[in-house]
């Protein structure tokens, strides 16, 4: 088994997953943090649902919705040339969907930690909503959002259930560390490589979680000090 | 407050130990009431249950059968899973488990034989009729992984014909077992798959494109049975395995497309 290819695939999928879900998750997080509206609980529940669904079930639903024979899936596969099942895009989508709740929750907490009075003051002094968001809200919430993206990166690296169902085991495209280890469990000579991949996986996760903690600490500082940015 | 917490923790630990010890303690004694546990290759998922049911109806113990790929079951047995018998889709896995001390000697004669076919989705527009034509069809191929018998048999059969799958390397989906490969083709996610003929016959969403030539006599695709060393019900299991190898049971295999064991005609 090509360990380099497996690592590269995992890193590609995890990175693409973070990039793809950054804006939607931040937007959702901001919306839920700053707005009250009828049905807010339902919306919040829907964004959190991948967290409580077994990932394999999420994968099954994705396969039904995006498989080659589905309406959406066949459009992407045939017209746009991007198959959304058993391909690397499928792995990215699976990881993104499964980790979406983590991203949204972290972003939401980050935005909720930003003092709305600061935004109010800026508005009173004539700043537009966009400028307030760009120059006050976002910079103050940024450590928290970055923390969320690290969490999502780590989660995407470890994602297995949904990926196995909708992206499958394709060497070089969707064979991530988790899928590789699972495959090696069926190989009589697989123990050595499995241990190596497990060690690498642990190492990356520890680094990611350490970064997450550090960023969370930064976020807390920014919220407590009343928003004085460094 | 600390004392209350430590009391709670102590109760928690005791409860946990109690829950774990209860069932674990019981499984050490041979219990004539407990069902026999058989681990069987996935491709036997349709043919075995009626045979096992008939055996139980005859006054024998109940049988609980777990179906999965031979390789996964073998790893579980090697890790100490509580199986009484193993029915593998090749002779390699039972032999390696026996060498490692997990199985008694496997049966010399397999229960039945099988053959490999190349399948395409039922609505496929192009149907390859030979291995050469295979490599000219774009798309994805579903194969069992290299450790899985259906995958290994397929690679061997293809190599024997002098062909390679190199042009398919990047779009090969590794299935976990024969039925998984079948499903990938049935769903249209894979354009081509290699499964056992008996699996192909169970799905109307696939069609058989062509059969792969059967390998030589010493690497036939056969279902070999073995009793696990740690089984506490060896006599019962032996009777069960004899029943499965009997001529009456052979009928059930043949009617589903399996081939009889024995000298090749």
B147–A190 C-beta distance less than 8 A = yes
B71–A69 C-beta distance less than 8 A = no
B187–A69 C-beta distance less than 8 A = yes
- DSSP state, residue B107: P
pLDDT at A225: 60
Query: A18 vs chain B: nearest CA distance in angstroms?
Result: 25
pTM confidence score: 0.84
Cα angle, residue B74 at apex, residues B86 and B96 outer, rounded to 5°: 95
CA–CA dist B193, B141 (Å, integer):
5
A88-110 average pLDDT score:
95
ipTM: 0.80
pLDDT in tens, A178-230: 999 998 887 777 888 999 999 999 999 899 889 989 988 888 887 776 545 54
Q: Which of A63, A86, A188 sits opposite B96 (nearest CB)?
A: A188
pLDDT in tens, A29-80: 999 999 898 888 998 898 889 989 999 999 999 999 999 889 999 999 889 9
| Residue from B213, B207, B149 nearest B182 by CA | B207
Q: Which of A170, A186, A190 sits opposite B171 (nearest CB)?
A: A170
B227 or B126: which carries more pLDDT confidence?
B227
pLDDT at B265: 35
The B36-41 sheet, strands edge to edge: B63-68, B36-41, B85-88, B224-227
Token pair listed for A96: 């993104």
| Burial bucket for residue A170 (CB in 10 Å: 0-12, 13-18, 19+) | buried
B69–A186 C-beta distance less than 8 A = yes
C-beta of residue B174 within 8 angstroms of C-beta of residue A169? yes
pLDDT in tens, B64-115: 999 999 999 999 999 899 999 999 999 889 999 999 999 999 998 999 999 9
Confidence of residue A101 (pLDDT cuts 50, 70, 90): very high
Torsion of Cα atoms, B101 then B105 then B111 then B117, to 10°: 50
């Amino acid at each position: 088994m090509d360990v380099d290819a497996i690592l590269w695939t995992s890193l590609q999928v995890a990175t693409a997953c973070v990039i793809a879900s950054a804006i939607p998750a931040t937007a959702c997080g901001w919306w839920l943090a700053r707005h009250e509206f009828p049905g807010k609980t339902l919306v919040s529940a829907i964004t959190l649902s991948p967290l409580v669904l077994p990932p394999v079930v999420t994968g099954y639903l994705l396969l039904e919705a995006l498989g080659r024979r589905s309406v959406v899936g066949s459009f992407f596969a045939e017209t746009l040339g991007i198959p959304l099942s058993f391909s690397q895009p499928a792995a990215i989508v699976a990881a993104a969907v499964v980790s979406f709740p983590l991203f949204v929750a972290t972003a939401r907490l980050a935005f909720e930690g930003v003092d709305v009075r600061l935004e109010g003051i800026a508005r009173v002094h004539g700043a537009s909503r966009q400028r307030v968001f760009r120059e006050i809200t976002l910079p103050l919430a940024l450590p928290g959002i970055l923390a969320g993206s690290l969490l999502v990166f780590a989660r995407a690296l470890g994602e297995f259930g949904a990926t196995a169902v909708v992206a499958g085991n394709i060497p070089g495209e969707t064979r991530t560390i988790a899928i590789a280890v699972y495959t090696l469990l069926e190989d009589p000579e697989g123990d050595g490589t499995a241990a190596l991949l497990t060690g690498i996986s642990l190492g990356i996760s520890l680094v990611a979680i350490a970064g997450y903690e550090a960023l969370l600490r930064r976020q807390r500082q920014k919220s407590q000090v009343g928003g004085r940015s460094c | 407050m600390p004392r209350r917490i430590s009391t709670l923790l102590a109760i928690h630990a005791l409860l946990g130990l109690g829950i774990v010890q209860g069932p674990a303690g019981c499984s050490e004694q041979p219990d004539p009431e407990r069902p026999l546990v058989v681990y069987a290759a996935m491709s036997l998922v349709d043919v075995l249950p009626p045979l096992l049911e008939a055996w139980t109806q005859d006054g024998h113990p109940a049988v609980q059968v777990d179906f999965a790929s031979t390789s996964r079951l073998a790893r579980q047995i090697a890790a100490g899973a509580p199986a009484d018998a193993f029915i593998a889709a090749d002779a390699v896995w039972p032999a390696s488990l026996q060498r490692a001390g997990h199985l008694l000697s496997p049966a010399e004669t397999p229960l039945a034989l099988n053959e490999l076919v190349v399948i395409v989705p039922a609505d496929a527009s192009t149907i390859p009729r030979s291995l050469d034509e295979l490599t000219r069809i774009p798309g994805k191929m579903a194969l069992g992984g290299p450790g899985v018998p259906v995958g290994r048999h397929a690679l061997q059969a293809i190599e024997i014909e002098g062909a390679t799958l190199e042009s398919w390397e990047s779009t090969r989906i590794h299935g976990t077992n024969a039925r998984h490969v079948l499903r990938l083709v049935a769903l249209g996610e894979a354009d081509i798959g290699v499964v056992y003929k008996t699996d192909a016959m169970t799905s109307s969403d696939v069609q058989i494109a062509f059969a792969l030539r059967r390998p030589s006599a010493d690497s036939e695709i056969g279902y070999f049975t073995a009793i696990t060393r740690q089984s506490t019900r060896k006599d019962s299991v032996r009777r069960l395995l004899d029943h499965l190898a009997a001529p009456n049971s052979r009928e059930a295999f043949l009617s589903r497309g399996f081939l009889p064991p024995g000298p090749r005609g």
